[in-house]
Amino acid sequence: MRVVVDTNVLVSGLLNPYGNPSRVVDAVLSRVVTVLFDDRILGEYREVLARPKFGFQPVQAGALLDFIEFAGELTVARHLPLVLADSSDLPFLEVAVAGQAEFLITGNVRHFVPRRGQHDVAVYRPADFVQRLKLGKSVGD
């Protein structure tokens, strides 16, 4: 299953090992899902996880990011003619479209509702995605 994971899900998953974002991180690490990314996304992951306010150990955050880079799929995305509430979210949507991701997983679903344009990417909150995993549902169910 190919997914794009928003940075906020990785942060939340590392901060709280008992929540749904952590289950998403577990799915990444156990290769239940393949993370699609490009250089912009990987750069954002690295920059955000290195912020002192989160207190992540550099070795642990680096190991997760190295795993994503190794086990994930580098995706070449093209610009989409969309306007989102937060333009910094556009790379995640562009990679999801280009890589034909089954899901884009984010804690900010409303950020992916276009103000202009449209897309057909399934955008899920971590809890909804984890529920689908538990039920074993595929994308068309």
Domains defined for the chain, CATH in brackets = 2-135 (3.40.50.1010)
pLDDT at residue 140, rounded to an integer? 46
When the pLDDT of each residue in the chain is averaged and rounded to a whole number, the result is 93
Other beta carbons within 10 Å of 72: 23
Reported as a single tens digit per residue, the pLDDT across 101-120 is 999 999 999 988 877 778 88
Q: Reading across the β-sheet that carries 34-37, which strands appear in turn?
A: 73-74, 34-37, 2-5, 103-105, 123-124
Give the dihedral of Cα atoms 129, 110, 103, 138; nearest 10 deg.
Answer: 50
Q: Tell me the per-residue pLDDT of 51-100, one tens digit each, with 9 for 90 and over.
A: 999 999 999 999 999 999 999 999 999 999 988 888 899 999 999 999 99
Cα angle: 77, vertex 125, 37; to 5 degrees: 25
